[in-house]
């Protein structure tokens, strides 16, 4: 064989080896893709079956619950412990998506389409017929406090927290986390102060003299937040009550109230959940629980005076909470000259 023929043979052998190697690689990738595709299909099918079973199970439970109050109570005991863990897992899984598209502002947005099948629940007023005054659970154990909460019995814990939150502390907290409050959205401010249209106006434009004017006028401010970033910042000042278990979910909806001693009586709106707590962190105020219209025939009105550091629990399913600083002023109490600061949140039992 000539040198040319030998060279051609070598090139042909090399080409055949390359083709065999490519075919083997293709077979390997096909095998891997086949396995991956099989397991992906298998997992998707398993998840679909599990989801279908859970939906069917939930449908059966809700259907049975609608037929009997006793069954409804048992269903609630079964389902409630799983609500918060499942929602928390969903929030953690969706956090990268929420951070990328800044979806936090949609949390508190109004629905574009109303649910035509939604009906306000009928209040079972007999649950509050035996509650006529606030129970004083100061110094009591957490288990007893949880039991009172389950029994929807309003109670007070005097000196629950140190009264170390002032307007300066609130301002520092806001300025340190201003980006969270701006990007997080779901921030609403209700106030009668002139020239204040949002939270940024209040903390950035109002100087110390303007803040002090709360003591000389009927100034009132309610700051409402309803998003994950803002809730994380606020709970550093107002942590969840110590008597809550890890299975209890605290609503993202939180409110901070600032009012002067002449601000008059104002209503505290309902919380995200029915079980609510209110903390008086500065000043002295009188709180009044007024039964809802449908429950006035069986539930009683309650009044209590709260001082800085006190915590009050109540159920807004049956009562509406009002704060009245001017009543304290009428008694000539010197502490009523202070600006009042309060905080409210809600949770599941």
Q: pLDDT for 180-239, tens place per residue? A: 887 766 678 888 877 788 888 888 876 655 565 665 567 888 999 888 788 888 988 999
Q: Which residues form the domain of 266?
A: 125-347
- Work out whether the CA dihedral 325, 329, 335, 338 comes out positive or negative: positive
Cα gap 118→114, rounded to integer Å? 8
What does the pLDDT read at residue 5?
A: 64
In angstroms, the CA 186 to CA 233 distance is: 14
User: pTM higher than 0.75, yes or no?
Assistant: no
Burial class (CB in 10 A: 0-12, 13-18, 19+), 33: exposed
pLDDT attached to residue 89: 74
For residues 270 and 231, the answer to whether their CB atoms sit within 8 Å is no
Residue-wise pLDDT for 85-113, tens only, equals: 777 777 777 667 666 666 655 655 666 77
User: What are the DSSP E strand ranges found in 162-309?
Assistant: 187-191, 220-225, 254-259, 266-268, 275-282, 285-291, 302-306
Check whether residue 146 and residue 94 sit in a common domain: no
Task: Write out the DSSP string of 119-176.
Answer: -PPPP-GGGGTT--S-EE-TT--HHHHHHHHHTT--EEETT-S-----HHHHHHHHHH
Residue 26 sits in the same domain as residue 152: no
Task: Specify the 3-state DSSP secondary structure of 180.
Answer: helix
Per the structure, the count of domains in the chain is 2
Residue (of 62, 93, 57) closest to 75 by Cα position: 62
Task: Please state, in angstroms and rounded to a whole number, the distance separating the CA atoms of residues 254 and 262.
Answer: 24
Q: Which residue has the higher pLDDT, 6 or 311?
A: 311
Residue 110 within a domain:
no
Q: Tell me, yes or no, whether 226 lies in a domain.
A: yes
Shared domain check, 310 and 218? yes
Please write the tens of the pLDDT for every residue from 4-22. 666 666 666 566 555 555 5
Question: Which of 101, 135, 166 delimits the end of a domain?
Answer: 101
Q: Using alpha carbons only, what angle is made at residue 286 by residues 298 and 234, rounded to the nearest 5 degrees?
A: 105
Strand 266-268 relative to strand 254-259, pairing: unpaired
Q: Do 97 and 130 fall into the same domain?
A: no
Same domain, residue pair 77 and 142: no
Read off the pLDDT band of 55 (50, 70, 90). Answer: confident
From the CB of residue 104, how many other CB atoms can be counted at a distance below 10 Å? 21
Which of 32, 322, 282, 300 has the alpha carbon at shortest distance from 163? 282
Q: Is the dihedral of CA 242, 246, 249, 255 positive or negative?
A: positive
| Co-location of 190 and 304 in the same domain | yes
Least confident window among 78-87, 124-133, 162-171: 78-87
* Pair 307, 257 in one domain: yes
Do both 50 and 168 map to the same domain? no
- Same structural domain for residues 74 and 191? no
Same-domain pairing of 184 and 311: yes
Q: Judge contact between 344 and 250, C-beta under 8 A.
A: no
């Amino acid at each position: 064989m000539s040198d040319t023929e030998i060279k051609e043979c070598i090139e042909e052998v090399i080409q055949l080896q390359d083709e065999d190697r490519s075919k083997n690689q293709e077979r390997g990738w096909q095998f891997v893709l086949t396995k991956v595709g099989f397991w992906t299909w298998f997992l998707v099918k398993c998840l679909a079956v599990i989801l279908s079973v859970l939906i069917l199970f939930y449908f059966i439970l809700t259907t049975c619950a609608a037929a009997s109050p006793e069954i409804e109570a048992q269903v609630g005991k079964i389902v409630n412990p799983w609500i918060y863990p499942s929602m928390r897992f969903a929030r953690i899984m969706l956090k990268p998506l929420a951070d990328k598209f800044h979806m936090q502002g949609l949390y508190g947005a109004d629905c574009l389409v109303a649910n035509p099948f939604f009906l306000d629940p009928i209040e079972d007023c007999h649950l509050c017929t035996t509650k006529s005054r606030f129970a004083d659970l100061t110094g009591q154990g957490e288990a007893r406090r949880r039991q009172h909460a389950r029994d929807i019995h309003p109670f007070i814990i005097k000196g629950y927290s140190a009264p170390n939150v002032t307007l300066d502390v609130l301002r520092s907290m806001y300025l340190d986390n201003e980006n969270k409050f701006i990007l997080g959205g779901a921030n609403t401010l209700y106030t009668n102060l002139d020239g204040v249209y949002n939270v940024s106006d209040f903390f950035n434009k109002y100087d110390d003299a303007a803040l002090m004017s709360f003591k000389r006028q009927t100034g009132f401010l309610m700051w409402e937040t309803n998003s994950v970033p803002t809730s994380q910042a606020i709970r550093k000042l107002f942590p969840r009550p110590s008597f809550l278990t890890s299975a209890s979910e605290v609503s993202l909806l939180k409110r901070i109230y600032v009012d002067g001693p002449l601000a008059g009586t104002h209503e505290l709106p309902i919380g995200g959940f029915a079980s609510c707590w209110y903390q008086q962190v500065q000043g002295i105020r009188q709180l009044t629980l007024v039964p809802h219209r449908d429950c006035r025939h069986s539930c009683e009105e309650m009044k209590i005076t709260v001082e800085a550091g006190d915590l009050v629990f109540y159920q807004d399913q049956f009562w509406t909470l009002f704060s009245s600083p001017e009543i304290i002023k009428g008694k000539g109490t010197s502490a009523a000259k202070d600006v009042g600061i309060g905080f409210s949140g809600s949770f599941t039992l």
